[in-house]
Amino acid sequence: MKVLVTYNMFRDGYSELISKYDVTFPAEGKESFTYEEVLEVIHEYDVLQSMYNFPVTAELLDKGVNLKIVSNYAAGFENIDVDYATKKGIVITNTPDPVTEPTADMAMGLMLSVMRRIADCDRRLRTKDLEWGLLNNLGYSLWGKTLGIYGMGRIGQALARRAKAAGMKVVYNNRRPLDPKIESLYDARFVSFEELIKTSDVISLNAPNTPDTYHIINKETIKLMKPTASIINTARGPLIDESALAEALRNREIYGAGLDVFEGGHKVSEELLDLDNVVLTPHTGTQTYDVRNEMAAFASQNIINFFEGGKICRVN
């Protein structure tokens, strides 16, 4: 079997795959294959191991006449034309398990940084623009506050576990309530989206980007929030109307925000860059050495299990 990996990722996670199959990576010193390069050679391969930012289009799937499986290195699969792959009988898999805990870590870290003004104080100390004093640089404690989780899947539940340990109350909104036994693990309570928005001190977005969730945070929903509330987004950028958020932050209508994802993808709004009450990170929710290898191993195992009859994490 011939496998094409689109990105020059660490090799540790691919060791078993390399031992079993003919695996092609980009040449040493080259970060990744371009779309055009993959398009030119994909007909030679049985497997495409795509990265979350690599477009797997109908055109590419048509060129991949021998393709049997696309193993996506990501929890999501928005980069893939899944419907067309399904019509062609090509299996699509993803890697949700390894991303759960590190993304919850990032959400918790952003929450702490926003509420306690960690990044803001660090920045102002370095520029000598900070005044010391008992009533200067005040933030908000997490203990006793209410965390509202929008999207109580794997990552939402991992965050709830951390929030409970930090002494927070947890409410959540989901497509449907969780089993009471699962709710009891986090002392979590299902509420309507409106109640979540109105009562939460921190709102964490942990939902996929769908027509129903697009701009779920907008000018109208922001007006319902407490003036002391903050928004955390480690899910998908388009869940937030960034222009409305920037305006609310600039006018101090809400307390703050922590964003690891952006409406414009890698393009961050200039309006946000100028604000001191928002913490920005460049989509680093899964950016750790160990997780990168774990994701590679998971994507590799999907491929191996597909051909050897084991369990795979498929999306179609």
Structure confidence by residue, pLDDT tens digits, 204-248: 999 999 999 999 999 999 999 999 999 999 999 999 999 999 999
Predicted confidence at residue 118, as pLDDT, reads 97
276, 63 contact by CB (below 8 A): no
Q: Evaluate whether residue 314 is within a structural domain.
A: no
pLDDT of residue 113: 98
Q: Which two tokens stand for residue 94?
A: 């993803």
Domain membership of residue 315 (yes or no) is: no
Residue 313 placed within a domain: no
Please check whether residues 194 and 138 belong to one and the same domain. yes
Give the total number of structural domains in the chain: 2
**Are 241 and 295 found together in one domain?**
no
Are residues 52 and 108 both part of a single domain? no
Are 9 and 56 members of one domain?
yes
Instruction: Report the pLDDT value the prediction gives residue 286, as an integer from 0 to 100.
Output: 93
Pair 243, 303 in one domain: no
Length of the chain: 316
* Residue 316 domain flag: no
Q: By residue range, what is the domain housing residue 119?
A: 98-280
Q: Are residues 292 and 270 in the same domain?
A: no
Asked whether residue 71 falls in the same domain as residue 194, the answer is no
Could you tell me if 167 and 45 lie in one domain? Answer: no
> Residue 190: inside a domain, yes or no?
yes
Helix axes 154-165, 96-115, angle to 10 degrees: 40
CB contact at 8 A, 83 and 308: no
Q: Which pLDDT belongs to residue 130?
A: 87
Q: Residue 67 contacts by C-beta under 8 Å, 6 or more apart in sequence? A: 42, 45, 46, 47, 48, 61, 88, 90
Question: Which residue numbers in the chain have pLDDT < 50?
Answer: none
Question: Residue 249: its pLDDT value, please?
Answer: 98
Looking at residue 255, its pLDDT comes to 98
What torsion, rounded to 10 degrees, do the Cα atoms 271, 212, 157, 245 define? 20
Cα–Cα dist 282/265, whole Å:
9
Residues 301 and 211 in one domain: no
* Residue 45 covered by a domain: yes
Same domain as 235, residue 105:
yes
Instruction: Check which CATH number belongs to the domain holding 190 and give it.
Output: 3.40.50.720
From CA 209, how far away is CA 18, in angstroms rounded?
34
Q: In 3D, which of 219, 173, 226, 227 has the Cα closest to residue 196?
A: 173
Residues 267, 232: one domain?
yes
Q: How far apart are the first and last CA of the chain?
A: 22
* Residue 292 and residue 195 share a domain: no
In a domain, 54, yes or no: yes
Q: Does 57 map to a domain?
A: yes
